[in-house]
């Protein structure tokens, strides 16, 4: 009997979910046209340290950004704003993925740089609250997760557009346990798919790359992924100059490792969870997740973050001062581009390439003996200040590639 009541309750629960999701789909349809962040002045940049090694790497990125934007800050075109309280202790205290007052502060920014935040999982000492990332992406409607991955040696230059609010994530904390059966939900909407797919095609067109790969598992997950595929097919018709193809996630993950094929991929667009997995795989080919930055873009807000976690072991062992800030600095490059400071983004990107790939005069290893976060930051600043950065970068890149070709 209990079972029957439980099932009735679950049906009602499902009904409510359905109504909410239909309303959300309507809201997306009428959502704002994306703001052009490069036109907004003053632009407010929020900074949130997060947990674990987060505050250390974020403050280093903030120091470098403030240096790059010195003049804009002085003129009042750029304003920095510290966001306090996005910590696991504070989030657990109010039992919310993002405390209300923190969210209010974030909403006073245009873009914000976020350190990694602890995501409790089963077996964790903290209660199993929702991931702050997932909640922020949903609350601020940051629908596009844009993750570039490059490796000149492997001849890869990919830009992933991962749908960032739907799929398995949107109701990831809203599944059901009934008796021995557990059920989660996956939601994909027409408008939610269209806005990310359109962004990928726009990017392919604007950059002249003119090539988009759409990744799903539509042969098995027929409704949700099937819709994502159909939307891609429809949107693609509006971009006759862009060549596109469709891949299943399994074979696509294999092809990313195929030296014969992988250089063909340019712009990749996929539903949420596949994008999560693919971007870690891709980042590994660039040198690891610590080397990649991530942009979470919405119509009104944008959040930039490292793609690695909080490294609790480093903190416990007293090694936090040796944390590598490369990933958050790569995210800072994406942020500078997003707010229209392309020249400064180029400078920071070239300086990072010199410090982490080409010259590597000092190396962060995460341990004593390696450089500290701050020493690495000083190294990056020295390249930023170097008047020959561009020529040195070009020379170093050339030398690096030919050395690798000779197999040295
Ligand atoms: C990422 C992370 C997050 C995700 C986690 C921390 C919830 O893996 O940004 O890729 O799955 O999206
Ligand atoms: Mg991930």
- Please give, one letter per residue, the 3-state secondary structure of the chain: CHHHHHHHHHHHHHHHHHHHHHHHHHHHHCCCCCCCHHHCCCEEEEEECCCCCHHHHHHHHHHHHHHHCHHHHHHCCEEEEECCCCCHHHHHHCCCCCCHHHHHHHCCCCEEEECCCCCCCCCCCCCCCCCHHHHHHHHCCCCEEEEEEEECCCCEEEEEEEECCCECCCCCCCCEEECCEEECCCECCHHHHHHHHHHHHHHHHHCCCCEEEEEECCCCCCCHHHHHHHHHHHHHCCCCCCEEEEEEHHHHHHHCCCCCCHHHCCEEEECHHHHHHHHHHHHHHHCCHHHCEEEEECCCCEEEEECCCCCHHHHHCCCHHHCCCHHHHHHHHHHHHHCCCHHHHHHHHHHHHHHHHHCCCCCCCCCECECCHHHHHHHHHHHHHCCCHHHHHHHHHHHHHHHHHCCC
Which of the four pLDDT bands, split at 50, 70 and 90, describes residue 137? Answer: very high
* Predicted pLDDT at 24: 96
**How many whole angstroms from 248 Cα to the centroid of ligand 1?**
21
Structural domain 31-142+298-408, CATH architecture: 3-Layer(aba) Sandwich (3.40)
Give the whole-angstrom CA distance, residue 347 versus residue 392. 12
pLDDT over 70 at 327, yes or no = yes
* Predicted pLDDT at 1: 56
Is residue 144 within 8 A of residue 296, CB to CB? The reply is: yes
Q: What is the dihedral of CA 384, 387, 390, 395, to 10 degrees?
A: -110
The average pLDDT across 91-100 equals 96
**How many whole angstroms from 120 Cα to the centroid of ligand 1?**
12
pLDDT over 80 at 186, yes or no = yes
* Predicted pLDDT at 123: 83
* Predicted pLDDT at 289: 86
pLDDT digits (tens, 9 = 90+) for 252-295: 999 999 999 999 999 999 999 999 999 999 999 999 888 999 99
pLDDT over 70 at 199, yes or no = yes
Which of the four pLDDT bands, split at 50, 70 and 90, describes residue 210? Answer: very high
Q: pTM value?
A: 0.94
**How many whole angstroms from 134 Cα to the centroid of ligand 2?**
11
* Predicted pLDDT at 2: 66
pLDDT over 60 at 148, yes or no = yes
**How many whole angstroms from 267 Cα to the centroid of ligand 1?**
20
Is residue 326 within 8 A of residue 291, CB to CB? The reply is: yes
Q: What is the dihedral of CA 148, 252, 200, 229, to 10 degrees?
A: -160
Query: Which one, of 78, 14, 80, 2, lies nearest residue 43 by Cα?
Result: 78
pLDDT over 90 at 122, yes or no = no
Residues within a 6 A CB radius of ligand 1: 119, 131, 133-134, 276, 307
* Predicted pLDDT at 243: 98
pLDDT digits (tens, 9 = 90+) for 228-256: 999 999 999 999 999 999 999 999 999 99
Which of the four pLDDT bands, split at 50, 70 and 90, describes residue 208? Answer: very high
Residue of 131, 144, 284, 307 with the most ligand 1 atoms within 8 Å of its CB, for mutation: 131
Share of the chain above pLDDT 90, in %: 91
Nearest atom (ligand 1) to Cα of 276? 10
* Predicted pLDDT at 207: 95
Query: Which one, of 51, 152, 144, 107, lies nearest residue 393 by Cα?
Result: 152
Nearest CA to ligand 1 atom 12: 276
The average pLDDT across 81-101 equals 96
Nearest CA to ligand 1 atom 9: 307
Across all residues in the chain, what is the average pLDDT?
A: 95
pLDDT over 60 at 213, yes or no = yes
């Amino acid at each position: 009997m209990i079972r029957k009541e439980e099932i009735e309750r679950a049906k009602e629960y499902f009904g409510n979910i359905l109504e909410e999701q239909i309303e959300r789909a309507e809201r997306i349809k009428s959502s704002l046209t994306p703001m052009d962040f490069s036109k907004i002045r003053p632009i407010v940049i929020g900074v949130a340290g997060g947990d674990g090694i987060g505050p250390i790497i974020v403050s280093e990125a903030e120091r470098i950004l403030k240096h790059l934007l010195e003049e804009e800050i002085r003129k009042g075109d750029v304003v920095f704003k510290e966001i306090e309280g996005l910590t696991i202790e504070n989030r657990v205290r109010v039992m919310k993925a993002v405390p209300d007052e923190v969210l209010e502060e974030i909403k006073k920014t245009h873009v914000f740089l976020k350190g990694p935040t602890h995501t409790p999982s089963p077996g964790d000492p903290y209660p199993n609250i929702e991931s702050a990332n997932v909640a922020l992406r949903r609350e601020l409607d940051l629908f596009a997760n844009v993750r570039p991955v490059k490796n000149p040696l492997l001849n890869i230059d990919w830009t992933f557009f991962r749908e960032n609010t739907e799929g398995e994530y949107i109701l990831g904390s809203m599944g059901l346990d009934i008796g021995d059966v557990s059920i989660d939900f996956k939601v994909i909407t027409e408008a939610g798919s269209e806005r990310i797919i359109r962004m990928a095609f726009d990017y392919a067109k604007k950059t002249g790359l003119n090539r988009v790969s759409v990744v799903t598992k539509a042969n098995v997950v027929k409704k949700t992924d099937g819709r994502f595929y159909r939307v891609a097919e429809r949107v693609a018709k509006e971009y006759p100059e862009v060549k596109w193809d469709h891949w299943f996630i399994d074979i696509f993950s294999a092809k990313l490792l195929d030296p014969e094929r992988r250089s063909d991929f340019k712009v990749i667009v996929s539903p949420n969870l596949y994008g999560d997995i693919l971007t870690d795989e891709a980042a590994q080919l660039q040198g690891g997740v610590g080397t990649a930055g991530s942009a979470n873009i919405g119509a009104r807000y944008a959040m930039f973050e490292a793609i690695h976690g909080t490294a609790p072991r480093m903190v416990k062992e007293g090694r936090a001062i040796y944390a590598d800030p490369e990933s958050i600095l790569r995210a800072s490059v994406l942020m500078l581009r997003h707010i229209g400071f392309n020249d400064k983004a180029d400078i920071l990107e070239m300086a990072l390439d010199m410090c982490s790939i080409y010259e590597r005069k000092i190396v962060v290893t995460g341990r004593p003996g390696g450089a500290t976060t701050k020493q690495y930051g000083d190294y990056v600043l020295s390249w930023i200040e170097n008047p020959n950065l561009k020529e040195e970068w070009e020379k170093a890149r050339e030398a690096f590639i030919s050395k690798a070709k000779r197999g040295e």
